[in-house]
């Protein structure tokens, strides 16, 4: 018997109706050695997920696979009888999917779902199964495992749910673990924890792992060997060290180049006067003074009340989405908002644009208090700020043509009409790099990247001052991200736009932002020029966030000490007293527990809310 | 437009439904020309004749020609069904849209109304109301509309709730569009396909209910031919003269099938992603 747990040779997958079958995976071959981690990387549509699904014969209806060999532990997977196949699926190969919410049954408690696996595949019953389930949850790092067994999936956060699915995959003591983008839906700090978890388990149990991802940087830390897929083919297979050091295929090189962007290549917007000595030379601000403030929030607070669905029962505690945010957006800058999900980034942007009502505090736009504006005045103001959203599929009305979507703000404000309107729409399409002739077509004919360009065209149509991009790149593949980023930069200089750029992806932020505001539990904890922030984070939370981002250099990445943040972000319904971060902070002092820190200048041009910097 | 009809024509079921409906509607419109006899003409010498060469579908207990009555009856049955569907669709969509978009007390009140309506046996309510209103075409239309508006209200409300959180609605809101524009341009058109599906099934339901009410004798005026009153006429002769009740039954069945298929076709047609 060979040292390989899995050997695949000549895998081809076809999809489509009879008569129009297309080959989407062609001639894919690879092997996985015992105890090895194979990383499969590729963009959407590269066939990476179909490839691993075909191994367990889990392909969607209409897709069919054949291969010269697909041997798992010497058995041909494609020839197994149904019962034997189920045994392989259930007992020897564990699988973890991307979306931890849909992978768990919402109406069964977690304990029941784990013991079910134990009972079916290992024959454990009653108390023994329960005991084992508690062990498993403890092993994947879930606090109070005995208590949490009785809880339902919705009572777990995304990261905790993914831990549960991993526990379920491990319950059967598999020899091969297949992880299909297991951390893509998670925050970067949670991702770091899950990666550490799986690596630890792998060492302990001698697991083999196939890790499928679109994020090459992640594999720098994880993978022994990397398989690069594009267009349904393997374009390169190499040990991780060699792939990152000397990629052979042009596609791998371009993937790496996208990861290792040069942050210094782009022009820097002016850094505030206060930090004059630190400011790198840059293009002058189009609007003149460096302290020209376009939008300003003072003590901005947003609280979402929740209704009780049970009569006479006290309603749940209100969610404090924003807790007294002070923020200046300078004219002509790109200000990035970063933070974990639930930190209030999107709420802040929406409150600033007045689409979410502020509970307290004030908002100034261009020197005018807009907190109480309503009706026609507010609607008129709206032409001056526009939004680009994360999901390019839901942000365009499927019933309206591309042209009508772009024309909408112009029509609403009655800026132009008739031929002039049509001309403006064509101009906007050309400016975002699309063919002006597509105006008559409908959104569903376009890919995600094209749709995002259409959304950007809509945003610039009425020449706003401020564009809020809410995770505008998160749904796109890496190579597309780079293109859209360039487009954002290009439009910014052409129209002297100001961007409020919300992202959880710090590598994107690094490329585009002039200043970065780090948010935690509804507050800005650090605000600094991007270069300074990435070079030397001050707030311990910023530090932890940056440390969690994988670096695309295997040696450097493996040499780094990974100390993931402890625990989960506290609930925004009950933020901790004192500094909200003290529950997870590695450097918390006694006063952090009682006294909330104030956001103030630590070094010139940098603001931080932390008792360590006063 | 022609390409839209062509798209619908491509599905075999939709095509069949379309043909059936066209025949029924055409027959109803051209009733005076098509009907071989006066639908009200009583002929004591031709009572209870089975289908034959003179009376193609036979005659009823007072010697009226069933084919002619079917053709004329279609006029009333179709009109009643269509009107009921229109009224209930407009009302139900309005209520659903308002409660879904604005929420608050509007939603509470309409939700309560819907619950009351759904928990009360409709036939009982219909018989009571028709008894009180004294029957007649207008009353029947209103009662039928009352029976189906909740279907629209519920489905439209659910649709509006999910659509109003989509990016394009937020984008429109953020770029300054008013409520009317957001509802009229962005929300309502995207609820059209479920409305069409519900409408087609409701139309079928309305025709059936009208038949049922007339059969029970609380519906339309028995002297005007409708498919329901004809069913009622044949009730006593089911064993001796089966054709009296069977023929309107078949007409109802075919029409309902046609409407349902048309609804399916419309749903596919109105889905912008499905069009090729």
Overall average pLDDT of the A183-197 stretch: 81
CA distance linking residue B27 with residue B33, whole number of Å: 9
Overall average pLDDT of the A188-205 stretch: 84
Give A539→chain B minimum CA distance, Å.
33
Overall average pLDDT of the A362-366 stretch: 92
Pairing mode, strands A208-213 and A37-41 = parallel
SS3 state at A169: helix
Domain membership of residue A299 as a residue range = 282-305+314-608
Give B273's contacts in chain A (Cβ within 8 Å).
398, 444
Q: What is the pLDDT of residues A56-94, one digit of tens each?
A: 888 888 888 889 988 998 888 888 888 888 888 878 898
Could you tell me if residue B182 is inside a domain? yes
User: Which segments of A272-359 are extended strands (E)?
Assistant: 293-304, 319-330, 334-338
Whether A531 and A596 map to the same domain: the answer is yes
- The percent of residues in chain B predicted with pLDDT above 90, rounded, is 26
Domains of chain B: total: 1
Q: How confident is the model at residue A29 (pLDDT cuts 50, 70, 90)?
A: very high
Pairing mode, strands A293-304 and A319-330 = antiparallel
Note whether B170 contacts A387, CB cutoff 8 Å.
Answer: yes
Q: What is the pLDDT of residues B95-144, one digit of tens each?
A: 999 999 988 888 888 889 888 888 888 888 888 888 888 778 899 999 99
Give A49→chain B minimum CA distance, Å.
25
- pLDDT in the model for residue A299: 93
- Note which residues in 438-477 of chain A have CB less than 8 A from chain B: 442, 444, 455, 458, 462
- pLDDT in the model for residue A396: 92
DSSP result, A286-304: TTS-TT-EEEEEEEEEEEE
Could you tell me if residue A27 is inside a domain? no
Check CB contact of A91 with chain B, cutoff 8 Å: no
Domains of chain A: total: 2
Note whether B174 contacts A382, CB cutoff 8 Å.
Answer: yes
Domain membership of residue B235 as a residue range = 66-257
Whether A41 and A152 map to the same domain: the answer is yes
Whether A355 and A246 map to the same domain: the answer is no
Whether A191 and A94 map to the same domain: the answer is yes
Which of B169, B174, B188, B271 to mutate: most A Cβ within 10 Å? B174
Q: What is the CATH number of the domain that holds B219?
A: 1.10.3720.10
Q: What is the pLDDT of residues B70-105, one digit of tens each?
A: 999 999 889 999 999 999 999 999 999 999 998 888
Among chain B residues, the shortest Cα distance to A355 is held by B174
Own/partner pairs, A167-170, CB within 8 angstroms, 24+ separation: A167/A114, A167/A133, A167/A136, A167/A137, A167/A139, A167/A140, A167/A142, A168/A94, A168/A113, A168/A114, A168/A117, A169/A94, A169/A95, A169/A96, A170/A94, A170/A136, A170/A139, A170/A140, A170/A201, A170/A205
| Option in B166, B172, B189 nearest A408 (CB) | B172
SS3 state at A10: strand
Q: What is the pLDDT of residues B200-245, one digit of tens each?
A: 888 888 888 888 888 787 878 777 888 888 888 888 888 888 999 8
Contact A254, A230 (CB under 8 A): no
Q: What is the pLDDT of residues A261-294, one digit of tens each?
A: 644 333 333 333 333 333 333 333 344 444 689 9
Residue A338 has pLDDT above 90, yes or no: yes
- pLDDT in the model for residue A264: 36
Residue A365 has pLDDT above 50, yes or no: yes
Whether A601 and A458 map to the same domain: the answer is yes
Could you tell me if residue B32 is inside a domain? no
Could you tell me if residue A265 is inside a domain? no
Q: Which residues pair with A8 in a beta bridge?
A: A30, A70
Whether A416 and A465 map to the same domain: the answer is yes
Q: What is the CATH number of the domain that holds A174?
A: 3.40.50.300
Contacts of A7 (CB under 8 A, 6+ apart): A31, A69, A70, A71
Whether A182 and A295 map to the same domain: the answer is no
| Cα–Cα nearest to B99, from B141, B14, B44, B156 | B156
Compute chain B's Rg from CA coordinates: 22
Check CB contact of B184 with chain A, cutoff 8 Å: no
End-to-end CA distance of chain B: 14
- pLDDT in the model for residue B155: 92
SS3 state at A279: coil
CA distance linking residue A217 with residue A214, whole number of Å: 9
Among chain B residues, the shortest Cα distance to A387 is held by B171
Overall average pLDDT of the A410-436 stretch: 91
Give A455's contacts in chain B (Cβ within 8 Å).
171
- pLDDT in the model for residue A275: 36
- pLDDT in the model for residue A287: 40
Overall average pLDDT of the B185-195 stretch: 89
| Cα–Cα nearest to A178, from A57, A288, A95 | A95
Could you tell me if residue A614 is inside a domain? no
CA distance linking residue A480 with residue A484, whole number of Å: 6
Note whether B176 contacts A394, CB cutoff 8 Å.
Answer: no
A113-117, A181-185, B78-82: range with lowest mean pLDDT: A181-185
Could you tell me if residue B30 is inside a domain? no
Q: Which residues pair with A94 in a beta bridge?
A: A177
Could you tell me if residue B229 is inside a domain? yes
Whether A211 and A299 map to the same domain: the answer is no
- pLDDT in the model for residue A2: 56
CA distance linking residue A142 with residue A582, whole number of Å: 20
Could you tell me if residue B40 is inside a domain? no
Residue B255 has pLDDT above 60, yes or no: yes
Q: What is the pLDDT of residues A561-598, one digit of tens each?
A: 766 677 777 877 888 888 999 988 888 888 898 889 98
Whether A91 and A201 map to the same domain: the answer is yes
Whether A199 and A297 map to the same domain: the answer is no
Whether A125 and A189 map to the same domain: the answer is yes
Could you tell me if residue A248 is inside a domain? yes
| Option in B166, B175, B178 nearest A409 (CB) | B175
For the record, the structure tokens of B143 come out as 């009662």
Contact B34, B71 (CB under 8 A): yes
CA distance linking residue A568 with residue A521, whole number of Å: 11
Whether A463 and A569 map to the same domain: the answer is yes
SS3 state at B254: helix
Note whether A389 contacts B170, CB cutoff 8 Å.
Answer: yes
Could you tell me if residue A188 is inside a domain? yes
Give A398's contacts in chain B (Cβ within 8 Å).
190, 272-273
Note whether B166 contacts A380, CB cutoff 8 Å.
Answer: no
Among chain B residues, the shortest Cα distance to A380 is held by B176
Note whether A355 contacts B176, CB cutoff 8 Å.
Answer: no
Check CB contact of A313 with chain B, cutoff 8 Å: no
SS3 state at B221: coil
- pLDDT in the model for residue A269: 39
CA distance linking residue A398 with residue A557, whole number of Å: 44
Residue B10 has pLDDT above 80, yes or no: no
Among chain B residues, the shortest Cα distance to A472 is held by B167
CA distance linking residue A431 with residue A100, whole number of Å: 39
Token pair 């830390």 is found at: A221
Could you tell me if residue B39 is inside a domain? no
User: Which segments of A42-138 are extended strands (E)?
Assistant: 64-66, 69-72, 75-76, 93-96
Could you tell me if residue A419 is inside a domain? yes
- Looking at A236, A254, A272, the residue that finishes a domain is A254
Compute chain A's Rg from CA coordinates: 26
Check CB contact of B175 with chain A, cutoff 8 Å: yes
Check CB contact of B179 with chain A, cutoff 8 Å: no
Could you tell me if residue A437 is inside a domain? yes
Contact A168, A97 (CB under 8 A): no
Check CB contact of A347 with chain B, cutoff 8 Å: no
Q: Output the average pLDDT for chain A.
A: 85
Residue A309 has pLDDT above 70, yes or no: no
Note whether A399 contacts B166, CB cutoff 8 Å.
Answer: no
Q: How many CB atoms are closer than 10 A to CB A308?
A: 10
Could you tell me if residue A187 is inside a domain? yes
| Cα–Cα nearest to A14, from A6, A23, A5 | A23
């Amino acid at each position: 018997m060979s040292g390989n747990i899995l050997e695949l040779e000549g895998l081809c997958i076809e999809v489509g109706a009879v008569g129009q079958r297309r080959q989407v995976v062609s001639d894919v071959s690879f092997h996985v050695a015992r105890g090895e981690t194979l990383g499969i990387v590729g963009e959407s549509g590269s066939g990476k997920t179909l490839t691993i699904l075909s191994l367990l014969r889990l392909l969607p209806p209409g897709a069919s696979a054949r291969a010269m060999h697909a041997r798992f532990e010497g058995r041909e997977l494609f020839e197994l009888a149904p019962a034997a196949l189920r045994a392989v699926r259930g007992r020897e190969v564990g699988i973890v999917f991307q979306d931890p919410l849909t992978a768990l049954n919402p109406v069964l408690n977690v304990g029941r779902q784990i013991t079910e696996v134990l009972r079916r595949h290992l024959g454990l019953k009653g108390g023994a199964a329960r005991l084992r389930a508690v062990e498993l949850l403890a092993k994947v790092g879930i606090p109070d495992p005995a208590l949490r067994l009785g809880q339902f999936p919705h009572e777990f956060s995304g990261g905790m749910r993914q831990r549960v699915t991993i526990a379920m995959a491990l319950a059967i003591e598999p020899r091969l673990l297949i992880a299909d983008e297991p951390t893509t839906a998670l925050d970067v700090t949670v991702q770091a924890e899950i990666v550490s978890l799986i690596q630890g388990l792998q060492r302990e149990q001698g697991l083999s792992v196939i890790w499928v991802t679109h994020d090459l940087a992640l594999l720098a830390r994880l993978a022994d060997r990397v398989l690069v897929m594009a267009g349904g083919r393997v374009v390169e297979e190499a040990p991780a060290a060699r792939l990152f050091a000397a990629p052979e295929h042009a596609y791998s090189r371009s993937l790496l180049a996208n990861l290792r962007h040069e942050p210094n290549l782009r022009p820097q917007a002016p850094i505030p006067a206060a930090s004059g000595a630190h400011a790198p030379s840059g293009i002058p601000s189009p609007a003149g003074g460096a302290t020209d403030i376009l939008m300003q929030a003072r003590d901005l607070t947003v609280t979402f009340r929740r209704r009780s669905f049970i009569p006479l029962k006290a309603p749940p505690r209100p969610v404090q989405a924003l807790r007294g945010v002070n923020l200046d957006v300078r004219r002509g800058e790109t200000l990035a908002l970063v933070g974990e999900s639930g930190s209030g980034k999107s709420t802040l942007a929406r409150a600033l644009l007045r689409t979410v009502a502020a509970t307290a505090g004030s908002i100034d736009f261009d020197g005018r208090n807009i907190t109480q504006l309503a009706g026609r005045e507010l609607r008129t103001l709206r032409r001056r700020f526009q939004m680009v959203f994360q999901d390019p599929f839901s942000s365009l009305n499927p019933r309206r043509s591309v042209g009508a979507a772009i024309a909408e703000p112009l029509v609403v404000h009655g800026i132009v009409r008739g031929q002039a309107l049509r001309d403006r729409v064509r101009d906007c399409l050309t400016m975002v790099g699309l063919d002006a002739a597509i105006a008559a077509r409908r959104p569903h004919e376009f890919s995600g990247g094209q749709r995002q360009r259409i959304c950007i065209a809509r945003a610039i149509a009425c020449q706003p001052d401020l564009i809020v991009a809410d995770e505008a790149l998160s749904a796109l593949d890496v190579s597309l991200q780079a293109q859209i980023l360039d487009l954002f930069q290009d439009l910014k200089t052409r129209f002297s736009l100001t961007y409020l750029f919300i992202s959880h992806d710090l590598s994107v932020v690094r490329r585009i932002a002039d200043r970065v505001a780090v948010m935690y539990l509804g507050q800005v904890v650090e605000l600094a020029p991007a270069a300074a922030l990435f070079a030397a984070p001050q707030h311990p939370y910023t530090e932890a966030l940056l440390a969690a981002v994988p670096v695309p250099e295997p040696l450097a990445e493996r040499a780094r000490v990974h100390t993931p943040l402890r625990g989960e972000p506290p609930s925004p319904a009950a933020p901790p007293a004192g500094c909200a971060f003290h529950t997870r902070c590695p450097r918390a002092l006694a006063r952090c527990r009682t006294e909330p820190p104030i956001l103030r200048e630590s070094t010139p041009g940098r603001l931080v809310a932390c008792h360590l910097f006063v | 437009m022609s390409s839209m009809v062509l798209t619908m024509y491509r599905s075999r079921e939709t095509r069949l439904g379309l043909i059936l409906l066209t025949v029924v509607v055409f027959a109803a419109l051209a009733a005076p020309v098509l009907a071989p006899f006066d639908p009200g003409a009583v002929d004591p010498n031709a009572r209870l004749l089975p289908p034959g060469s003179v009376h193609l579908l036979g005659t009823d207990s007072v010697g009226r020609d069933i084919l002619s009555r079917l053709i004329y009856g279609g006029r009333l049955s179709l009109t009643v069904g269509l009107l009921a569907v229109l009224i209930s669709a407009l009302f139900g969509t309005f209520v659903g849209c308002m409660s879904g978009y604005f929420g608050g007390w509007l939603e509470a009140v309409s939700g309560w109304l819907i619950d009351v309506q759904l928990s009360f046996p409709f036939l009982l309510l219909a018989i009571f109301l028709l008894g009180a209103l004294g029957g007649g075409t207008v009353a029947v239309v209103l009662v039928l509309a009352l029976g189906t508006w909740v279907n629209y209200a519920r489905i439209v409300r659910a649709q509006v709730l999910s659509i109003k959180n989509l990016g394009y609605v937020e984008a429109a809101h953020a770029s300054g569009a008013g409520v009317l524009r957001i509802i009229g341009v962005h929300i309502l058109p995207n609820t059209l396909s479920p409305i069409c599906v519900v409408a087609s099934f409701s139309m079928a339901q309305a025709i059936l209910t009208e038949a049922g009410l007339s059969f029970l004798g609380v519906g339309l005026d028995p002297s005007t031919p409708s498919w329901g009153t004809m069913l009622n006429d044949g009730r006593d002769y089911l064993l001796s003269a089966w054709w009296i009740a069977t023929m309107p039954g078949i007409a109802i069945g075919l029409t309902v099938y046609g409407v349902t298929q048309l609804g399916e076709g419309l749903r596919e047609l109105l889905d912008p992603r499905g069009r090729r």
